[in-house]
Structure 1
Amino acid sequence: MKTSPPARLCLLMAATVILTLLPLVWGLAGCGATTTGSPPTPTRTPHPTSTPTPPPTSTSTPAFTPTPTPLPPDVNPLTGERVDDPSLLDRVPVAIKISNWPGQYVWPQAGIASADLIFEHYNEGWFATRWTAVYLGEADRVGPVRSGRLIDLEIPAIYKAVLACWGFSDGVLALFRDSDLYPDRVVSYSLPETLDPDPFYRDFSRDVPLEHTGYTDPARVRAWAEAHGVSGRQAGLEGMVFSEEPPAEGEPATYVYIPWRELDAEWYYDEASGRYLRWSDGSRHTDALNGQQLSAANVVVLYVPQWDTDIVEEPHSGALSIQFALWHSNRAIIFRDGLRIDAFWQRWDREDMLTLTDEEGNPIPLKVGNTFFEVIPTEGLEVVVEP
Structure 2
Amino acid sequence: MTRRARARRAAVTVALLAATATTLATGCTHQGAQDDGRGHRRSQSPTPTEQPSSSASAGPLLAVKIDNVAAARPQTGLDAADIVYAEQVEGGLSRLMAVYATRLPKAVGPVRSARESDLELLRQFDEPTLAFSGAQRKLLPLIDKAPLDAEPPGHASGAYYRGAGRAAPHNLYLHPDRLVPTAPGAGALTTGFRYGAAPAGGTPETSRTVRFPAARFSFTWSASRQGWLVAMDGTPDVMTDGEQLAPPTVVVQYVPVHSSRYHDVLGNPTPYTQTVGSGRAVVLRDGKAYDVTWSRPSAAGGTTFTAADGTPVNFARGQVWVVFAKAS
**TM value normalised by structure 2:** 0.78
SS, match of residue 152 in structure 1: helix
Matched, 1:371 2:320: yes
**Cα drift, residue 159 of structure 1:** 3.2
- The correspondence for 2:270, drawn from 297, 321, 346, is 321
Match of 1:56 in 2: none
Q: Which amino acid letter does the alignment assign opposite residue 122 of structure 2?
A: P
SS, match of residue 139 in structure 2: helix
**Cα drift, residue 291 of structure 1:** 1.0
Matched, 1:121 2:81: no
Match of 1:17 in 2: none
Instruction: Give the alignment of 1:337-348 within 5 angstroms.
Output: 337-348=286-297
Match of 2:262 in 1: 311
- The correspondence for 1:165, drawn from 129, 132, 151, is 132
Q: Which amino acid letter does the alignment assign opposite residue 213 of structure 1?
A: N
Match of 1:100 in 2: 68
Match of 1:263 in 2: 215
Q: Which amino acid letter does the alignment assign opposite residue 243 of structure 2?
A: Q
Show CA shifts across 1:257-312 (max 9, x none): 11233332211101122211012233221011x21001110010011101112212
**Cα drift, residue 97 of structure 1:** 0.3
Contact 1:91-1:233 within 8 A present in 2 as well: no
Distance verdict in 2 for CA 1:146–1:236, change over 3 Å:
closer
User: Following the alignment from structure 1 to structure 2, what is the Cα–Cα distance between the partners of residues 236 and 292?
Assistant: 25
Unmatched segments (≥5 aa) in structure 1: 1-33, 35-78, 380-387
User: Following the alignment from structure 2 to structure 1, what is the Cα–Cα distance between the partners of residues 195 and 286?
Assistant: 13
User: Following the alignment from structure 1 to structure 2, what is the Cα–Cα distance between the partners of residues 367 and 196?
Assistant: 35
Instruction: Give the alignment of 1:133-148 within 5 angstroms.
Output: 133-136=98-101, 137-148=103-114
User: Following the alignment from structure 1 to structure 2, what is the Cα–Cα distance between the partners of residues 150 and 252?
Assistant: 37
- The correspondence for 1:156, drawn from 112, 122, 145, is 122
User: Following the alignment from structure 2 to structure 1, what is the Cα–Cα distance between the partners of residues 214 and 83?
Assistant: 23
Distance verdict in 2 for CA 1:175–1:291, change over 3 Å:
same
Equivalent pairs, count = 281
User: Following the alignment from structure 1 to structure 2, what is the Cα–Cα distance between the partners of residues 238 and 269?
Assistant: 25
User: Following the alignment from structure 2 to structure 1, what is the Cα–Cα distance between the partners of residues 237 and 147?
Assistant: 35
User: Following the alignment from structure 2 to structure 1, what is the Cα–Cα distance between the partners of residues 147 and 232?
Assistant: 35
Distance verdict in 2 for CA 1:337–1:235, change over 3 Å:
closer
SS, match of residue 153 in structure 1: helix
User: Following the alignment from structure 2 to structure 1, what is the Cα–Cα distance between the partners of residues 290 and 223?
Assistant: 17
Match of 1:273 in 2: 225
SS, match of residue 374 in structure 1: strand
Q: Which amino acid letter does the alignment assign opposite residue 133 of structure 1?
A: A
Match of 1:202 in 2: 162
Q: Which amino acid letter does the alignment assign opposite residue 242 of structure 2?
A: G
**TM value normalised by structure 1:** 0.67
Distance verdict in 2 for CA 1:327–1:360, change over 3 Å:
farther
Q: Which structure has more RCO (C-alpha within 8 Å, separation ≥ 6)?
A: 1
Distance verdict in 2 for CA 1:235–1:284, change over 3 Å:
closer
RMSD across aligned positions (CA)? 2.7
Show CA shifts across 1:116-164 (max 9, x none): 10011111122x1000000111111100000001221023222332111
**Cα drift, residue 241 of structure 1:** 0.9
Matched, 1:301 2:265: no
Instruction: Give the alignment of 1:31-110 within 5 angstroms.
Output: 81-83=50-52, 86=54, 90-101=58-69, 103=70, 105-110=71-76
Contact 1:309-1:323 within 8 A present in 2 as well: yes
**Cα drift, residue 212 of structure 1:** 1.1
Bigger Cα displacement from structure 2, 110-119 vs 264-273: 264-273
Q: Which amino acid letter does the alignment assign opposite residue 180 of structure 1?
A: P
Bigger Cα displacement from structure 2, 301-310 vs 355-364: 355-364
Show CA shifts across 1:100-130 (max 9, x none): 01x1x2110000111110011111122x100
